[in-house]
Amino acid sequence: MARQIQFRETGGPEVLELVDVKPRDPGPGEVRICNRAIGLNFIDIYFRTGLYPTELPSGLGTEGAGVVDAVGEGVDDFEEGDRVAYAQGPKGAYGEFAIMPAANVIALPEAIDFETAAGGMLKGLTVQYLIRQTYAVDEDENILFHAAAGGVGSIACQWAHALGAHVIGTVSNEDKADFAHRNGAWMTIDYTRESVPERVRELTDGAMVPVVYDSVGRDTWKDSLACLAPRGLMVSFGNASGPVEGVNLAELNKGGSLFVTRPSLGGYADTRERFEMMCADLFSVLESGAVKIHIGQRFALEEAGAAQRALADRQTTGSTILLP
């Protein structure tokens, strides 16, 4: 038997249950992974609350790292004992074992430990598509990144800085501002006491920014649009404060022929070839030291509810992981 987190109804962190299950054998094209570390992400909360629908009862989590325990029929790329990591579903990573399609699993370089992989796979691949594909940031370019001290934000600050860009990051207090600066942010804006558009205008001498990366959603939507230069791109990739609703396309015209996109990892890592390319790019910056995954919080598997509560209340910095 093995321990796993499940939920039978949507709601608050209290709906998460620790249950004993018998790990099934992997089917054709699947591998069974003995997790050594598990990633915690906002998308997990979206499923738990019902913002993203799912069939119930359900497991939770799509990111982790560990050792291959068994392989299913037709799997030739992995064998028992391989060190691996994964960032996409199906849900069920919150457990001692996870069954994953081999197509969603990547071999983990020896130089990258399990905790780094679990804290950095989904977030790191997210940053990869955001700043290397959705809008390829360039040297000496000013960009705005919300939640700069979070798991995704801290990676983005480092990676964009390594590319020569100037990151303006939003934060909620001085400690998070210091953390963002240590990770390469050029300037920070405390959105609890400053107007984000006004500060961006000051910092850019009125030019504003060509791109805004926004994982907050509803609360920052209008400010994000106001920070864009003409023909700028609004990249909305999360809903931490709730989904953006009632969008008036005329606002894009008023702002100067603005663009908006709502990307996802699944939309970019949609083939094995693209997934491997993105992983290689991420592993390269991790191995070079240009990007470090900061594990700000570690929780035991049975503390998954408390971990999600801390993440939702913005009490975390860097990445948060669960340890089975």
What confidence tens digit (pLDDT) does each residue in 42-74 have? Answer: 899 999 999 899 999 999 999 999 999 999 999
233 forms bridges with which residues in the sheet? 211, 259
* Joined tokens for residue 276: 């491997």
C-alpha 273: how far from chain center: 21
Residue where one domain finishes, among candidates 212, 243, 262? 262
113 and 18 share one domain: yes
Are 193 and 250 in a shared domain? Answer: yes
Burial 107-139 (b: 16+ CB within 10 A, else e): ebeeebebbbbbbbbbbbbbbbbbbbebbebee
Say if CB 86 and CB 48 are below 8 A apart: no
Whether residue 133 is contained in a domain is answered as no
pLDDT of residue 99: 97
Give yes or no: residues 78 and 168 share one domain.
no
Evaluate whether residue 38 is within a structural domain: yes
pLDDT at 243: 84
* Of the residues 209, 227, 262, the one at which a domain ends: 262
pTM score:
0.93
Which residues, including other chains, have CB under 8 Å from residue 210's CB and lie 6 or more apart?
135, 141, 142, 143, 228, 229, 232, 233
Report if residue 243 sits inside a domain.
yes
In angstroms, rounded to a whole number, what is the distance separating the alpha carbons of residues 62 and 90? Answer: 6
Q: Give the CB-side neighbour count of residue 181, counting CA atoms within 13 A.
A: 10
**249: which 2 tokens?**
């396309």
**Residue 29 pLDDT more than 90?**
yes
What CATH number should be reported for the domain holding residue 80?
3.90.180.10
Q: Are residues 70 and 143 in the same domain?
A: no
What pLDDT score does 92 carry? 95
pLDDT at 242 over 90: no
Q: Assess if residue 37 is contained within a domain.
A: yes
* Confidence band of 241 (pLDDT split at 50, 70, 90): confident
pLDDT over threshold 90, residue 79: yes
- Total domain count, the chain: 2
Q: Strands 97-101 and 83-86: what pairing?
A: unpaired
Residues 258 and 270 reside in one and the same domain: no
* Cα–Cα distance for residue pair 279/127, rounded to 1 Å: 11
Residue 132 lies in a domain: no
First to last CA, the chain: 13
Confidence at residue 179, expressed as pLDDT on a 0 to 100 scale: 94
Q: Cβ neighbours of residue 202 under 8 Å, at least 6 residues apart?
A: none
* pLDDT-derived band at 318, boundaries 50, 70, 90: confident
Output the six-digit token pair for 316. Answer: 């975390």
Model confidence at 89: pLDDT above 90: no
- 134 assigned to some structural domain: no
User: DSSP assignment, residue 193?
Assistant: T
Question: pLDDT-based confidence at 188, cuts 50/70/90?
Answer: very high
Distances (CA, A) of 45 to 217, 236, 255, 313, 316: 15, 18, 33, 12, 15
> Are residues 15 and 111 located together in one domain of the fold?
yes
Range of the domain at 68: 2-120+266-323
Q: Could you tell me where the beta strands, DSSP code E, fall in the chain? A: 2-7, 16-21, 30-39, 58-59, 64-71, 83-86, 97-101, 105-107, 142-145, 166-171, 187-190, 209-214, 228-236, 259-261, 295-300, 319-323
